[in-house]
Amino acid sequence: MCFGSAIPPVAKDKAVIVSPSRPETDALKSMGWTCTTYPDGTAAMALITLPREKARAKSWIAQASQAVGAGVIVVDGAKTDGVDTLLGAVKARTQSILGHVPKAHGRCFWFCGGKFDDWLPKMRDIGGFSTYPGVFSADGPDSGSRALLAHLPDLSGRVADLGAGWGFLSRQILKHESVSELHLVEADNDALACAQHNVCDARARFHWADATTWAPQTKMHTVIMNPPFHEGRKGKPELGQAFIQTAARILMPKGKLYMVANRHLPYEATLQTTFSKITSINTSGGFKILVADTPRLRR
């Protein structure tokens, strides 16, 4: 069993890859690997590629420990992702650290045994919403999303929330009674599970999907988004740019996009090539609200 996106050093029919990420899962499945979002069943050993979020890293160790019983768990991670601290925390729970080696700016360690059940992922209440450890902004609403909310007009018809996370924006969008459908599109299965818990409304449709390729059956009147702009620690503005392309593709001819971004992010050029009219409002906290009108038809 392998947690994260690393390809295990065994034959394809002998491994299951556990990942909450839809883009990762799609890529691995297209290469012939078996993938799941949560381990079911047992395994002889587990390999964990450390995620950046510490709480998620711990929850993967707990899930791996349940799956392998007395088998070996190998953890491979970067120092900047806290691999040394994690090694210390694991050491405190097992007598059996079997080995560890430094590797470039990281470390690989392997162990067996120990009790980790209290590290299993648990939803926790953050004041009216519930989140799993490791999802985006797990401790409370993001300040960019709050800024966007303050600039939303009355909404109606079909709306999509691209990168919906645990549902903060979506719940507010559904306060608009004229919204007939809200499509929550989210790549992180753990975040989507939280959204399903947080957004209880018959108009909500949940999609575990890659927003850069997602296509609804019917086009939208409005797209709302606070798009991601990094992957792990790496800045990746092209992800937000791809979200803008999706918004233009899924909107009706007179549809509108409302998005928030950190002011330095380079989204205007993409907006100009995909929409006819763009307005930008700077807000406090270093954000900008971008409103784009009338997607340009693609020839």
Q: Give the residue with the Cβ less far from ligand SAM, 68 or 191.
A: 191
- Shortest Cβ 126–ligand SAM spacing (Å): 11
**d(Cα 17, Cα 214) in Å, to the nearest integer?**
23
Among the candidate windows 2-10, 28-36, 103-111, 180-188, which touches ligand SAM by CB under 6 A? 180-188
* CA 126, chain centre distance (Å): 18
Cα separation, 59 vs 116, whole angstroms: 9
Which long-range contacts does 238-242 make (Cβ < 8 Å, 24+ apart)?
239/212, 240/265, 240/267, 241/266, 241/267, 241/270, 242/211, 242/212
Nearer to ligand SAM by Cβ, of 67 and 185: the residue is: 185
Residue 48 binding ligand SAM, by CB under 6 A = no
- Contact pattern for ligand SAM over residues 92 through 121, marking x by CB under 6 A: ------------------------------
At 69, phi and psi to the nearest 5?
A: 60, -115
**CA nearest to 169, candidates 217, 244, 224:** 224
Element (H, E) at 34: strand 34-36
**Is residue 184 a contact residue for ligand SAM (CB under 6 A)?**
no
Q: Backbone phi, then psi, for 122, in 5-degree steps?
A: -130, 135
Give how many residues touch ligand SAM by CB under 6 A.
20
Residue of the chain from 8, 23, 82, 237 that contacts ligand SAM (CB under 6 A):
23
Candidates 4-12, 34-42, 61-69, 187-195; binding stretch for ligand SAM (CB under 6 A):
187-195
DSSP string covering 96-159: -EEEEEEETTEEEEEEE----GGGS---EESSS-EE-TTSTTTTS--HHHHHHHTT-----EEE
Candidate segments 6-14, 124-132, 157-165, 198-206, binder of ligand SAM by CB under 6 A: 157-165
Q: Are strands 124-125 and 130-131 parallel, antiparallel or unpaired?
A: antiparallel
* Span from 41-49, 64-72, 183-191, 215-223 in contact with ligand SAM (CB under 6 A): 183-191
3-state secondary structure at position 14: helix
Give Cα separations from 47 to 37, 88, 152 (angstroms). Answer: 15, 18, 45
Closest alpha carbon to 113 in 97, 101, 99, 125: 97
- The site map against ligand SAM for 191-230 (x = CB under 6 A) is x------------------xxx-------------x-x--
164 counts as binding ligand SAM under rule CB under 6 A: yes
> Binding ligand SAM by CB under 6 A: which of 2, 73, 155, 169?
169
Part in contact with ligand SAM (CB under 6 A); list of ranges 97-105, 118-126, 181-189, 266-274: 181-189
Within 119-148, the residues that bind ligand SAM by CB under 6 A are 136-137, 142, 145
- Told to check if 20 binds ligand SAM by CB under 6 A, we report no
Residue 91 C-beta: closest distance to ligand SAM, Å: 31
CA distance 22 to 206: 13
Interface with ligand SAM by CB under 6 A: which residues? 23, 136-137, 142, 145, 163-165, 168-169, 185-188, 191, 210-212, 226, 228
